[in-house]
Amino acid sequence: MRLEDLGAKVHHNLNVGKLVEYALKKEGAALTDTGALSINTGKYTGRSPSDRFIVDSPSVHDEVNWGKVNVPIKTEVFDKLYDRIMDYLKSKEVYVFDGFVGADSNYRMPIRIINEFAYQNLFSQQLFIKPKEGELHNFQPEFTVITAPGCITNPELDGTNSEAFIILNLEKKIIIIGGTKYCGEIKKSIFTVMNYLLPFKGVMPMHCSANVGKDGDVALFFGLSGTGKTTLSADGNRMLIGDDEHGWTDDGVFNFEGGCYAKCIRLSKENEPKIWNAIRFGTVLENVVLNEVGEPDYNSEEFTENTRAGYPVSYIDNALESGTGGNPSTIVFLTADATGVLPPISKLTKEQAMYHFMAGYTSKLAGTERGIIEPTATFSTCFGAPFMPLSPQTYAELLGKKIDKHDAKVYLVNTGWSGGGYGVGKRMKLAYTRAMVNSAIEGKLDHVKYEIDPIFNLAIPTECPEVPHGVLNPANVWADRNAYNQAAEKLAKDFVENFKKFKGVSQEIINAGPKA
């Protein structure tokens, strides 16, 4: 695709100031009191999974794990909508970002993102890896993303589910997005591409954040949106590698992105100072209510609970500029359990790690997807099913090999409810979760005693620095032990039932899960 084939006027790799200027003048954006660009994405304030498709072309047909998540669509439908979106853009000013995904030069992929709106182009520039001087000479993108929120479909005529569409053509290496202004669709489409390509190169793609200590020890934090990946990895005593998407090679981990996309509902300077300070000029703030003098109200859910801030990773003052680190010594699986029965921290064997990785249990939090208005239990394979095109076993086997090879410790951490389920119990205190995670990373849980939960088969530490003893075993903080047992047994049965969908899994891995 040539740039001259695009709109009436093409803006190519504009600087931040110019993109902010266009967004303010033409797109209804506003500046906050700290200079961040605030926008409202309208109807779509989260990802729209039911509107996402993968083209079922011959070269990918036998590779993609087709189903409710990876929904096939015919090449003819893609071609028709591609022509429509290109025709639509011909009369528009178009903003183009050429850059990269992947901080490791051995696996870095050149990408082109074409946007109808300047604010989305600013988001793309801040979230992905900017080109250095000379890197755009003879630039050839491997994948191209085309976004035009004003271009919509007619479901009855076009074979889509609504006026919005997100279609990945892995064969033609083009992604088209229409009908939705939500910036997260751009980010997660590229993530899906990396999750498709990298396993064929022996690299494990991961929906996780990562940081590194002063001694070079790397920790990974897996989890779905809202479970704490961004918050827990932004640690003042450790360097941030990245907050959401990484690859694990034989040499270590690397960030896919050049930026962070943080949830900011109920954000406070006291609890999350690094994210708070990152929301400044150049940051894109989505769906946050502003008062008359431009101050954000982070407690407001007027537009959505899924309020977001997109900013360069360099806005985090202890971020690692290279975006790379060594092989992880600690892996943390984060779950926001709305039933309140999972332990706040438990240590996993390799087989348990593979089980819980494939299960990917959590509760979707309000606003992260359309229609989610309160925590909803879900099993999301690999803690990122919406973005994993290959079979779950492909990713789990890569994980098992990495754990074995590098002797990584794995913990399951519940950042969700304690003392009862949603509406009865309370969300686990962030200070306690930080203390547990820090103790795991620093090896303080290596030599404490553990007790085995009889229902979930999990090893629970009997003590942890800076955490009250009674908090560690969830059964002890419920007012009604019978109610706890009933809720725990129900969740265990849900685990067992969910795992039946995986075929060809070893008995050792199955036995590592809960007992129903």
Enumerate the active-site residues: 47, 188, 207, 225, 229-230, 244, 308
Residue 16 burial class via C-beta count within 10 angstroms: exposed 0-12, middle 13-18, buried 19 and up? middle
Q: Give residue for tokens 């899994």.
A: 505
Terminus-to-terminus CA distance in the chain, angstroms? 55
Query: And the tokens for 268?
Result: 């406070």
Helices 350-359 + 481-499 axis angle, to 10: 80
Helix ranges (DSSP H) in 332-475:
350-359, 392-406, 430-441
Helix ranges (DSSP H) in 56-114:
75-89
DSSP three-state, residue 127 = helix
Q: What is the CA radius of gyration of the chain?
A: 22
Residue 496 CA neighbour count, 13 Å, CB half: 13
Cβ-proximal residues to 215 (8 Å cutoff; 6+ apart), any chain: none
Angle at 257 between CA 240 and CA 442, to 5 degrees: 25
Buried b (16+ CB within 10 A) or exposed e, 174-195: bbbbbbbbbbbbbbbbbbbbbb
Query: Bridge-partner residues for 324, per DSSP?
Result: 254
Buried b (16+ CB within 10 A) or exposed e, 387-399: bbbbbbbbbbebb
Q: Is-contact 205 194, C-beta < 8 A? A: yes
Query: And the tokens for 386?
Result: 């919406």
Q: Is-contact 269 255, C-beta < 8 A? A: no
User: Residue 112 to residues 2, 128, 147, 370: CA-CA distances in angstroms?
Assistant: 11, 10, 11, 27
Nearest in space to 190 (alpha carbons), one of 85, 89, 109, 103: 109
CA gap 143, 62 in Å, rounded: 21
Question: Tell me, what amino acid is at 282?
Answer: G
Query: Bridge-partner residues for 452, per DSSP?
Result: 459
Torsion region of 342: left, alpha or beta (phi above 0 gives left; psi -120 to 50 gives alpha): beta
